Protein backbone atom coordinates (compact mmCIF):
# COMPACT_ATOMS: atom_id res chain seq x y z
CA UNK A 1 0.00 0.00 0.00
CA UNK A 2 1.31 3.43 -0.84
CA UNK A 3 1.80 5.96 1.92
CA UNK A 4 -0.96 8.09 0.41
CA UNK A 5 -3.50 5.27 0.55
CA UNK A 6 -2.71 4.40 4.17
CA UNK A 7 -3.01 8.04 5.15
CA UNK A 8 -6.32 8.37 3.31
CA UNK A 9 -7.77 5.29 4.98
CA UNK A 10 -6.74 6.62 8.39
CA UNK A 11 -8.39 9.92 7.53
CA UNK A 12 -11.45 8.04 6.25
CA UNK A 13 -10.96 9.38 2.72
CA UNK A 14 -11.26 6.77 0.01
CA UNK A 15 -12.95 6.31 -3.33
CA UNK A 16 -16.71 5.95 -2.93
CA UNK A 17 -19.38 5.03 -5.43
CA UNK A 18 -22.68 6.93 -5.41
CA UNK A 19 -24.50 4.96 -2.72
CA UNK A 20 -27.87 6.28 -3.87
CA UNK A 21 -27.78 3.56 -6.51
CA UNK A 22 -28.64 1.21 -3.62
CA UNK A 23 -31.87 3.15 -3.13
CA UNK A 24 -33.28 2.55 -6.60
CA UNK A 25 -36.10 0.04 -6.45
CA UNK A 26 -35.57 -2.97 -8.70
CA UNK A 27 -38.32 -3.24 -11.24
CA UNK A 28 -39.32 -6.78 -12.07
CA UNK A 29 -42.42 -5.75 -14.01
CA UNK A 30 -41.36 -6.58 -17.56
CA UNK A 31 -39.14 -9.53 -16.64
CA UNK A 32 -42.01 -11.03 -14.59
CA UNK A 33 -44.35 -10.62 -17.54
CA UNK A 34 -41.84 -12.22 -19.92
CA UNK A 35 -41.33 -15.13 -17.52
CA UNK A 36 -45.04 -15.79 -17.07
CA UNK A 37 -45.69 -15.61 -20.82
CA UNK A 38 -42.77 -17.93 -21.58
CA UNK A 39 -43.96 -20.48 -18.99
CA UNK A 40 -47.54 -20.40 -20.31
CA UNK A 41 -46.31 -20.69 -23.87
CA UNK A 42 -44.11 -23.69 -23.06
CA UNK A 43 -47.03 -25.48 -21.34
CA UNK A 44 -49.51 -24.64 -24.15
CA UNK A 45 -47.55 -24.69 -27.42
CA UNK A 46 -50.81 -24.87 -29.43
CA UNK A 47 -52.15 -21.50 -28.18
CA UNK A 48 -51.56 -18.18 -29.93
CA UNK A 49 -50.68 -15.41 -27.51
CA UNK A 50 -51.81 -11.88 -28.41
CA UNK A 51 -49.75 -9.01 -27.00
CA UNK A 52 -51.45 -5.80 -25.97
CA UNK A 53 -48.65 -4.89 -23.60
CA UNK A 54 -46.27 -3.40 -26.14
CA UNK A 55 -44.90 0.01 -25.17
CA UNK A 56 -43.06 0.51 -28.45
CA UNK A 57 -44.27 1.56 -31.87
CA UNK A 58 -44.55 -1.13 -34.54
CA UNK A 59 -45.00 0.80 -37.80
CA UNK A 60 -41.83 1.69 -39.78
CA UNK A 61 -40.37 5.13 -40.49
CA UNK A 62 -42.35 7.21 -43.01
CA UNK A 63 -41.14 7.25 -46.66
CA UNK A 64 -40.37 11.01 -46.47
CA UNK A 65 -38.08 10.32 -43.49
CA UNK A 66 -36.33 7.43 -45.24
CA UNK A 67 -35.72 9.62 -48.29
CA UNK A 68 -34.23 12.41 -46.17
CA UNK A 69 -32.02 9.93 -44.28
CA UNK A 70 -30.70 8.48 -47.55
CA UNK A 71 -29.86 11.84 -49.03
CA UNK A 72 -28.14 12.95 -45.80
CA UNK A 73 -26.02 9.79 -45.94
CA UNK A 74 -25.05 10.72 -49.49
CA UNK A 75 -24.10 14.24 -48.36
CA UNK A 76 -21.78 12.71 -45.79
CA UNK A 77 -19.99 10.79 -48.56
CA UNK A 78 -18.79 13.92 -50.41
CA UNK A 79 -16.08 16.31 -49.30
CA UNK A 80 -18.16 19.35 -50.30
CA UNK A 81 -21.22 18.38 -48.24
CA UNK A 82 -19.67 16.33 -45.41
CA UNK A 83 -20.56 17.52 -41.89
CA UNK A 84 -18.50 17.08 -38.76
CA UNK A 85 -19.49 18.40 -35.33
CA UNK A 86 -22.72 20.36 -35.50
CA UNK A 87 -24.26 22.81 -33.03
CA UNK A 88 -24.82 20.98 -29.70
CA UNK A 89 -28.35 22.38 -29.42
CA UNK A 90 -29.34 21.19 -32.92
CA UNK A 91 -29.23 22.49 -36.50
CA UNK A 92 -31.21 25.61 -37.34
CA UNK A 93 -33.23 23.80 -40.00
CA UNK A 94 -34.65 21.39 -37.40
CA UNK A 95 -35.19 23.97 -34.65
CA UNK A 96 -37.09 26.10 -37.15
CA UNK A 97 -39.24 23.11 -38.13
CA UNK A 98 -40.06 22.46 -34.45
CA UNK A 99 -40.83 26.15 -33.92
CA UNK A 100 -43.27 26.10 -36.85
CA UNK A 101 -44.83 22.90 -35.54
CA UNK A 102 -45.56 24.63 -32.21
CA UNK A 103 -46.97 27.61 -34.11
CA UNK A 104 -49.37 25.23 -35.91
CA UNK A 105 -51.26 24.82 -32.63
CA UNK A 106 -50.90 28.41 -31.53
CA UNK A 107 -47.80 28.21 -29.32
CA UNK A 108 -44.95 30.68 -29.81
CA UNK A 109 -41.48 29.43 -28.90
CA UNK A 110 -38.17 31.06 -29.76
CA UNK A 111 -35.77 29.07 -31.89
CA UNK A 112 -33.14 29.33 -29.16
CA UNK A 113 -35.59 28.04 -26.58
CA UNK A 114 -35.60 24.73 -28.51
CA UNK A 115 -32.90 22.12 -27.89
CA UNK A 116 -32.61 19.04 -30.09
CA UNK A 117 -31.60 15.82 -28.36
CA UNK A 118 -31.42 12.07 -28.84
CA UNK A 119 -34.77 11.65 -27.09
CA UNK A 120 -36.94 12.68 -24.19
CA UNK A 121 -35.62 10.07 -21.76
CA UNK A 122 -32.05 11.41 -21.87
CA UNK A 123 -33.20 15.01 -21.44
CA UNK A 124 -35.55 14.10 -18.58
CA UNK A 125 -32.59 12.57 -16.78
CA UNK A 126 -29.98 15.17 -17.79
CA UNK A 127 -32.10 18.21 -16.89
CA UNK A 128 -31.54 17.34 -13.23
CA UNK A 129 -28.00 18.77 -13.58
CA UNK A 130 -29.71 22.18 -13.32
CA UNK A 131 -31.27 21.54 -9.92
CA UNK A 132 -30.00 21.49 -6.37
CA UNK A 133 -30.09 18.16 -4.58
CA UNK A 134 -32.19 19.59 -1.73
CA UNK A 135 -35.25 20.24 -3.90
CA UNK A 136 -38.44 18.36 -3.05
CA UNK A 137 -39.69 16.44 -6.08
CA UNK A 138 -43.40 15.85 -6.63
CA UNK A 139 -44.33 12.87 -8.78
CA UNK A 140 -47.72 11.35 -9.59
CA UNK A 141 -48.41 7.74 -8.59
CA UNK A 142 -48.74 5.70 -10.82
CA UNK A 143 -45.99 6.99 -13.08
CA UNK A 144 -43.40 6.39 -15.83
CA UNK A 145 -40.49 5.06 -13.66
CA UNK A 146 -37.81 7.36 -15.16
CA UNK A 147 -38.84 10.41 -13.09
CA UNK A 148 -38.46 8.58 -9.79
CA UNK A 149 -35.29 6.61 -10.54
CA UNK A 150 -33.31 9.59 -11.93
CA UNK A 151 -34.04 11.58 -8.76
CA UNK A 152 -33.34 8.68 -6.40
CA UNK A 153 -29.96 8.23 -8.13
CA UNK A 154 -29.16 11.85 -7.29
CA UNK A 155 -30.32 11.44 -3.68
CA UNK A 156 -33.33 13.75 -3.97
CA UNK A 157 -36.43 13.45 -1.77
CA UNK A 158 -39.66 12.46 -3.52
CA UNK A 159 -43.25 13.16 -2.54
CA UNK A 160 -46.09 11.45 -4.35
CA UNK A 161 -49.43 12.83 -5.44
CA UNK A 162 -52.27 10.38 -5.71
CA UNK A 163 -53.69 9.70 -9.14
CA UNK A 164 -56.80 7.59 -8.74
CA UNK A 165 -60.32 6.96 -10.00
CA UNK A 166 -61.75 9.88 -7.98
CA UNK A 167 -59.58 12.43 -9.82
CA UNK A 168 -59.68 10.56 -13.14
CA UNK A 169 -55.94 9.83 -12.66
CA UNK A 170 -55.26 13.56 -13.06
CA UNK A 171 -54.09 14.87 -9.67
CA UNK A 172 -54.44 18.63 -9.14
CA UNK A 173 -52.21 20.90 -7.03
CA UNK A 174 -52.40 20.76 -3.25
CA UNK A 175 -51.25 24.11 -1.81
CA UNK A 176 -50.35 22.48 1.50
CA UNK A 177 -47.44 20.73 -0.27
CA UNK A 178 -44.34 22.85 -1.00
CA UNK A 179 -42.91 21.13 -4.05
CA UNK A 180 -39.86 22.45 -5.92
CA UNK A 181 -39.79 20.20 -8.98
CA UNK A 182 -43.07 18.83 -10.35
CA UNK A 183 -43.42 16.12 -12.99
CA UNK A 184 -46.47 16.09 -15.21
CA UNK A 185 -46.94 13.66 -18.09
CA UNK A 186 -49.91 14.31 -20.37
CA UNK A 187 -51.28 12.30 -22.12
CA UNK A 188 -50.03 10.04 -19.38
CA UNK A 189 -48.09 6.82 -19.50
CA UNK A 190 -49.46 4.48 -18.11
CA UNK A 191 -52.98 5.92 -17.56
CA UNK A 192 -53.68 7.65 -20.88
CA UNK A 193 -55.33 10.48 -18.93
CA UNK A 194 -54.68 13.98 -20.31
CA UNK A 195 -54.99 17.43 -18.73
CA UNK A 196 -57.06 20.20 -20.31
CA UNK A 197 -55.49 23.65 -20.76
CA UNK A 198 -57.61 24.87 -17.82
CA UNK A 199 -56.27 22.13 -15.55
CA UNK A 200 -52.69 22.83 -16.61
CA UNK A 201 -53.35 26.51 -15.87
CA UNK A 202 -53.99 25.52 -12.25
CA UNK A 203 -50.66 23.70 -12.14
CA UNK A 204 -48.85 26.67 -13.67
CA UNK A 205 -50.47 29.02 -11.13
CA UNK A 206 -49.39 26.70 -8.31
CA UNK A 207 -45.81 26.41 -9.63
CA UNK A 208 -45.45 30.19 -10.01
CA UNK A 209 -46.89 30.73 -6.51
CA UNK A 210 -44.48 28.17 -5.01
CA UNK A 211 -41.48 29.21 -7.12
CA UNK A 212 -41.45 25.60 -8.37
CA UNK A 213 -40.52 24.27 -11.81
CA UNK A 214 -42.74 21.91 -13.81
CA UNK A 215 -41.03 19.28 -15.95
CA UNK A 216 -43.71 18.56 -18.53
CA UNK A 217 -43.47 15.34 -20.54
CA UNK A 218 -45.42 15.74 -23.79
CA UNK A 219 -44.20 12.54 -25.45
CA UNK A 220 -47.77 11.55 -26.43
CA UNK A 221 -48.93 14.99 -27.55
CA UNK A 222 -49.48 13.70 -31.12
CA UNK A 223 -52.37 11.48 -29.96
CA UNK A 224 -54.51 14.43 -28.90
CA UNK A 225 -57.48 14.99 -31.17
CA UNK A 226 -58.52 18.38 -32.45
CA UNK A 227 -60.33 20.37 -29.75
CA UNK A 228 -59.02 17.80 -27.28
CA UNK A 229 -56.96 18.37 -24.12
CA UNK A 230 -53.71 20.40 -23.98
CA UNK A 231 -50.93 19.75 -26.51
CA UNK A 232 -48.36 21.81 -24.68
CA UNK A 233 -48.00 23.39 -21.25
CA UNK A 234 -47.13 26.60 -23.12
CA UNK A 235 -50.82 26.92 -24.07
CA UNK A 236 -51.32 28.33 -20.55
CA UNK A 237 -50.53 31.81 -19.19
CA UNK A 238 -47.33 32.05 -17.20
CA UNK A 239 -45.75 28.72 -18.13
CA UNK A 240 -42.72 30.60 -19.47
CA UNK A 241 -41.62 31.40 -15.93
CA UNK A 242 -42.09 27.90 -14.48
CA UNK A 243 -42.03 25.08 -17.05
CA UNK A 244 -39.72 23.03 -19.23
CA UNK A 245 -41.34 20.82 -21.88
CA UNK A 246 -39.96 17.52 -23.22
CA UNK A 247 -41.11 16.05 -26.48
CA UNK A 248 -39.95 13.28 -28.75
CA UNK A 249 -40.32 11.89 -32.25
CA UNK A 250 -40.36 8.36 -30.80
CA UNK A 251 -44.12 7.84 -30.60
CA UNK A 252 -45.40 10.16 -33.40
CA UNK A 253 -42.83 9.21 -36.04
CA UNK A 254 -41.53 5.75 -35.02
CA UNK A 255 -38.15 7.19 -33.92
CA UNK A 256 -37.79 4.87 -30.90
CA UNK A 257 -34.79 3.21 -32.56
CA UNK A 258 -33.64 6.23 -34.61
CA UNK A 259 -33.52 8.64 -31.61
CA UNK A 260 -34.51 12.28 -31.75
CA UNK A 261 -36.40 14.56 -29.39
CA UNK A 262 -36.67 18.21 -28.42
CA UNK A 263 -36.88 20.16 -25.21
CA UNK A 264 -38.18 23.69 -24.76
CA UNK A 265 -36.45 25.74 -22.05
CA UNK A 266 -37.98 29.25 -21.93
CA UNK A 267 -35.77 32.36 -21.68
CA UNK A 268 -38.04 33.66 -18.88
CA UNK A 269 -37.41 30.71 -16.55
CA UNK A 270 -35.04 32.27 -14.01
CA UNK A 271 -34.23 31.73 -10.35
CA UNK A 272 -31.63 33.44 -8.14
CA UNK A 273 -30.59 35.53 -11.13
CA UNK A 274 -29.76 32.36 -13.09
CA UNK A 275 -31.35 31.50 -16.43
CA UNK A 276 -32.45 27.89 -17.00
CA UNK A 277 -32.02 28.39 -20.75
CA UNK A 278 -28.40 29.55 -20.39
CA UNK A 279 -27.66 26.79 -17.88
CA UNK A 280 -29.09 24.11 -20.16
CA UNK A 281 -27.11 25.46 -23.13
CA UNK A 282 -23.97 25.36 -20.97
CA UNK A 283 -24.80 21.86 -19.74
CA UNK A 284 -25.38 20.56 -23.27
CA UNK A 285 -22.29 22.20 -24.78
CA UNK A 286 -20.25 20.70 -21.93
CA UNK A 287 -21.59 17.13 -21.90
CA UNK A 288 -23.24 16.58 -25.30
CA UNK A 289 -22.02 16.91 -28.88
CA UNK A 290 -25.37 16.94 -30.61
CA UNK A 291 -27.58 14.53 -32.53
CA UNK A 292 -26.22 13.04 -35.75
CA UNK A 293 -26.71 15.28 -38.82
CA UNK A 294 -28.29 12.35 -40.65
CA UNK A 295 -30.90 11.79 -37.94
CA UNK A 296 -31.67 15.52 -37.74
CA UNK A 297 -32.35 15.55 -41.50
CA UNK A 298 -34.70 12.60 -41.02
CA UNK A 299 -36.36 14.42 -38.12
CA UNK A 300 -36.84 17.60 -40.18
CA UNK A 301 -38.65 15.50 -42.80
CA UNK A 302 -41.19 14.49 -40.14
CA UNK A 303 -42.28 18.15 -40.04
CA UNK A 304 -42.55 18.56 -43.83
CA UNK A 305 -46.10 18.57 -45.23
CA UNK A 306 -45.53 15.13 -46.77
CA UNK A 307 -43.94 13.78 -43.59
CA UNK A 308 -46.83 15.08 -41.48
CA UNK A 309 -49.37 13.43 -43.78
CA UNK A 310 -47.52 10.11 -43.57
CA UNK A 311 -46.99 10.06 -39.81
CA UNK A 312 -50.61 11.14 -39.26
CA UNK A 313 -51.68 8.02 -41.18
CA UNK A 314 -49.58 5.86 -38.82
CA UNK A 315 -50.93 7.61 -35.72
CA UNK A 316 -54.45 7.02 -37.08
CA UNK A 317 -53.78 3.25 -37.05
CA UNK A 318 -52.89 3.37 -33.34
CA UNK A 319 -55.78 5.69 -32.57
CA UNK A 320 -58.21 3.31 -34.29
CA UNK A 321 -56.78 0.42 -32.25
CA UNK A 322 -57.21 2.46 -29.07
CA UNK A 323 -60.84 3.09 -30.01
CA UNK A 324 -61.43 -0.63 -30.64
CA UNK A 325 -60.16 -1.40 -27.13
CA UNK A 326 -62.04 1.51 -25.53
CA UNK A 327 -65.30 0.48 -27.26
CA UNK A 328 -64.83 -3.03 -25.85
CA UNK A 329 -64.51 -1.59 -22.32
CA UNK A 330 -67.65 0.50 -22.87
CA UNK A 331 -69.53 -2.59 -24.01
CA UNK A 332 -68.36 -4.59 -21.00
CA UNK A 333 -69.10 -1.72 -18.60
CA UNK A 334 -65.48 -1.59 -17.43
CA UNK A 335 -64.18 1.74 -16.04
CA UNK A 336 -61.11 3.13 -17.81
CA UNK A 337 -59.09 6.23 -18.64
CA UNK A 338 -57.27 6.98 -21.90
CA UNK A 339 -58.08 5.41 -25.24
CA UNK A 340 -59.24 8.67 -26.75
CA UNK A 341 -56.18 10.94 -26.74
CA UNK A 342 -53.61 8.27 -25.99
CA UNK A 343 -52.38 4.86 -27.17
CA UNK A 344 -53.02 3.54 -23.64
CA UNK A 345 -56.18 2.17 -22.07
CA UNK A 346 -55.98 2.04 -18.29
CA UNK A 347 -58.79 -0.13 -16.98
CA UNK A 348 -60.14 -1.16 -13.62
CA UNK A 349 -59.64 -4.91 -13.28
CA UNK A 350 -63.03 -6.62 -13.41
CA UNK A 351 -64.43 -8.99 -10.76
CA UNK A 352 -62.45 -7.24 -8.01
CA UNK A 353 -59.20 -8.79 -9.19
CA UNK A 354 -55.76 -7.40 -8.37
CA UNK A 355 -53.50 -6.34 -11.25
CA UNK A 356 -51.54 -9.61 -11.30
CA UNK A 357 -54.64 -11.77 -10.77
CA UNK A 358 -56.17 -10.17 -13.84
CA UNK A 359 -52.91 -10.61 -15.76
CA UNK A 360 -52.97 -14.37 -15.05
CA UNK A 361 -56.72 -14.62 -15.72
CA UNK A 362 -56.37 -12.94 -19.16
CA UNK A 363 -53.30 -14.96 -20.09
CA UNK A 364 -54.80 -18.30 -19.07
CA UNK A 365 -58.33 -17.78 -20.38
CA UNK A 366 -57.88 -15.50 -23.39
CA UNK A 367 -54.14 -15.74 -24.12
CA UNK A 368 -53.98 -11.94 -24.09
CA UNK A 369 -51.02 -10.15 -22.50
CA UNK A 370 -51.26 -6.70 -20.92
CA UNK A 371 -49.36 -4.84 -18.22
CA UNK A 372 -50.35 -4.99 -14.53
CA UNK A 373 -50.95 -1.46 -13.22
CA UNK A 374 -49.33 -2.29 -9.87
CA UNK A 375 -45.98 -2.21 -11.67
CA UNK A 376 -46.29 1.58 -12.10
CA UNK A 377 -46.88 2.48 -8.44
CA UNK A 378 -49.04 1.69 -5.42
CA UNK A 379 -52.09 3.43 -6.88
CA UNK A 380 -51.84 1.21 -9.95
CA UNK A 381 -52.97 -1.82 -7.93
CA UNK A 382 -56.28 -3.12 -9.25
CA UNK A 383 -55.67 -1.53 -12.66
CA UNK A 384 -54.32 -2.83 -15.94
CA UNK A 385 -52.77 -1.21 -19.04
CA UNK A 386 -53.56 -2.24 -22.61
CA UNK A 387 -51.76 -0.59 -25.52
CA UNK A 388 -52.77 0.27 -29.07
CA UNK A 389 -49.33 -0.24 -30.65
CA UNK A 390 -50.12 -3.70 -32.02
CA UNK A 391 -51.55 -4.38 -35.47
CA UNK A 392 -55.24 -3.89 -36.12
CA UNK A 393 -55.69 -7.66 -36.63
CA UNK A 394 -54.12 -8.54 -33.29
CA UNK A 395 -56.09 -5.79 -31.54
CA UNK A 396 -59.39 -7.01 -33.00
CA UNK A 397 -58.67 -10.65 -32.16
CA UNK A 398 -57.62 -9.76 -28.61
CA UNK A 399 -60.73 -7.66 -28.07
CA UNK A 400 -62.96 -10.48 -29.37
CA UNK A 401 -61.36 -12.87 -26.88
CA UNK A 402 -61.72 -10.40 -23.99
CA UNK A 403 -65.41 -9.93 -24.83
CA UNK A 404 -66.01 -13.68 -24.98
CA UNK A 405 -64.34 -14.09 -21.59
CA UNK A 406 -65.93 -11.20 -19.73
CA UNK A 407 -69.38 -10.80 -21.26
CA UNK A 408 -72.07 -11.82 -18.83
C1 LIG B 1 -41.84 6.73 -24.76
C2 LIG B 1 -41.80 7.81 -23.76
C3 LIG B 1 -40.90 8.88 -23.88
C4 LIG B 1 -40.00 9.00 -25.08
O5 LIG B 1 -38.71 8.66 -24.78
P6 LIG B 1 -37.60 8.74 -25.91
O7 LIG B 1 -36.33 8.70 -25.12
O8 LIG B 1 -37.77 10.02 -26.64
O9 LIG B 1 -37.76 7.54 -26.80
C10 LIG B 1 -40.92 9.87 -22.91
N11 LIG B 1 -41.77 9.84 -21.88
C12 LIG B 1 -42.66 8.84 -21.73
C13 LIG B 1 -43.63 8.88 -20.61
C14 LIG B 1 -42.69 7.79 -22.65
O15 LIG B 1 -43.56 6.78 -22.49
Is 2 a residue whose pLDDT tops 70?
no
Domain locations along the chain: 27-56+307-406, 63-303
333 φ, ψ (degrees, to nearest 5): 70, 30
Span 320-344, pLDDT tens digits: 999 999 999 999 999 999 999 999 9
Question: Kind and range of the H or E element at 186?
Answer: none
Binding-site residues, ligand 1, Cβ < 6 A: 119-121, 144, 185, 189, 217, 219, 248, 250-251, 256, 261
**In angstroms, rounded to a whole number, what is the distance separating the alpha carbons of residues 213 and 230?**
18
Q: Which atom of ligand 1 is nearest to the CA of 119?
A: 8
Alpha helices in 348-391 (DSSP H): 355-366
For helices 293-302 and 92-104, what crossing angle results, to 10°? Answer: 20
Give the pTM. Answer: 0.96
Q: What is the distance in A from the centroid of ligand 1 to the CA of 4?
A: 46
Name which residue sits closest to atom 2 of ligand 1, judged by CA: 219
Q: What is the distance in A from the centroid of ligand 1 to the CA of 249?
A: 9
CATH code for residues 27-56+307-406: 3.90.1150.10
Half-sphere exposure of 233 (CA within 13 A, CB side): 32
Span 347-390, pLDDT tens digits: 999 999 999 999 999 999 999 999 999 999 999 999 999 999 99
Closest CA to 332 of 351, 316, 357, 358: 351
CATH code for residues 63-303: 3.40.640.10
Span 250-286, pLDDT tens digits: 999 999 999 999 999 999 999 999 999 999 999 999 9
Check if the beta carbon of residue 347 is closer than 8 Å to that of residue 235.
Answer: no
Most ligand 1 atoms within 8 A of CB, residue of 127, 169, 251 to mutate: 251
Most ligand 1 atoms within 8 A of CB, residue of 57, 122, 144 to mutate: 144
Is 204 a residue whose pLDDT tops 70?
yes
- In this structure, the number of other CB atoms found within 10 A of the CB of residue 1 comes to 8
Mean pLDDT on 68-96: 98
pLDDT at 3: 66
Check if the beta carbon of residue 218 is closer than 8 Å to that of residue 188.
Answer: no
Span 154-164, pLDDT tens digits: 999 999 999 99
Question: Kind and range of the H or E element at 36?
Answer: helix 29-43
Is 183 a residue whose pLDDT tops 90?
yes
pLDDT at 398: 98
If you count DSSP H runs as helices and E runs as strands, how many of each does the chain have, helices first? Answer: 13, 15
Amino acid sequence: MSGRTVLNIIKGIYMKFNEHFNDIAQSYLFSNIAQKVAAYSAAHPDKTILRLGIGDVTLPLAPAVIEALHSAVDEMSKKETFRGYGPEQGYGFLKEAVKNYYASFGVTVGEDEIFISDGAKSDLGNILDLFDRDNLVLVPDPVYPVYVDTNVMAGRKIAYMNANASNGFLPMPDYSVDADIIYLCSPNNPTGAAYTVEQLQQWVNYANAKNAVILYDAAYECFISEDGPARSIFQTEGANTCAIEFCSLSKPASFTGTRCGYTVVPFDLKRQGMSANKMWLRRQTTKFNGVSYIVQRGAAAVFSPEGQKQIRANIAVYRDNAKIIADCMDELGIWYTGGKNSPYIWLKCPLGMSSWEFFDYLLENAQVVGTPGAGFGANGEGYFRLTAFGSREVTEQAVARIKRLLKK
